[in-house]
Structure 1
């Protein structure tokens, strides 16, 4: 019952935020898809998940165990740290650290997690910056790239 109630409230919140996000306009085109595509995509995915939980809540009736709660809380903390370090450290370094920590959090071995983190940070930066023409912050690497 609580899952359906929470999901219904979350779905209404997603719908309201989608109406808000639809009005996002940028005074200049800094990105080929505009400022509203990303929030609308995320809200659509969250709304679809909430709708699924309203229709079939039985999948969420499992008990949460303390280790699962700790891992979930650590995941939220890593993602919060990623958001806070995105500008000062830059995309590449903050992504590398976040991917490495999330890999370890989900029982990955340190060396493969490190290799995956470095590759993901660099390749995603190249994808967004050069192929999609979306400027990303360089942070502490700015002195090395432009200087």
Structure 2
């Protein structure tokens, strides 16, 4: 078993512990669902903890190193997700989702036009699905009353 597997497993257990601590404290001001808001983070924490335990005790085996440039793309992907989280409320769901989709599409080799078309489709399509069909309230941000 590689030491890297154990380190990743321990890191996963730390993330699972943080999610459990954060999720356990979530309470809704009024009951709108039978399970409440803490169910999702606790479920995700349990899954991450199980995967972390497997890595700590069994390992994942030998893997090839990342190809050249992959680590930079991974770092950019993390930056895109962090930017999405930071700008989500201010820009709104449609603009933030469009922007992050364009950037991620570029990371995977799409042209600017392909990324923009996919981003607009993803942002508007998911907004309509969640906000209008599933009745999940999403922030409109800069688009305000246009949506």
Q: TM-score, normalised by structure 1?
A: 0.80
Deviation at 1:117, TM superposition (A): 1.0
Between stretches 49-58 and 110-119, larger displacement belongs to 49-58
Asked if 1:4 corresponds to 2:21, the answer is no
Query: Given the superposition, is the C-alpha separation of residues 118 and 52 from structure 1 closer, same or farther in structure 2, using an over 3 Å criterion?
Result: farther
| Local SS of the residue matching 2:78 | helix
2:61 to 58, 65, 73: 58
Q: State the partner residue of 1:121.
A: 123
Asked if 1:68 corresponds to 2:43, the answer is no
1:134 to 117, 136, 144: 136
Conservation of the 8 A alpha-carbon contact between 2:15 and 2:45: no
Conservation of the 8 A alpha-carbon contact between 2:8 and 2:55: no
RMSD, aligned CA: 2.5
Q: State the partner residue of 1:90.
A: 92
| Local SS of the residue matching 1:57 | coil
Q: State the partner residue of 1:37.
A: 39
Q: What is the aligned length?
A: 144
Unaligned 5+ runs, structure 2: none
Structure with more helix by fraction? 1
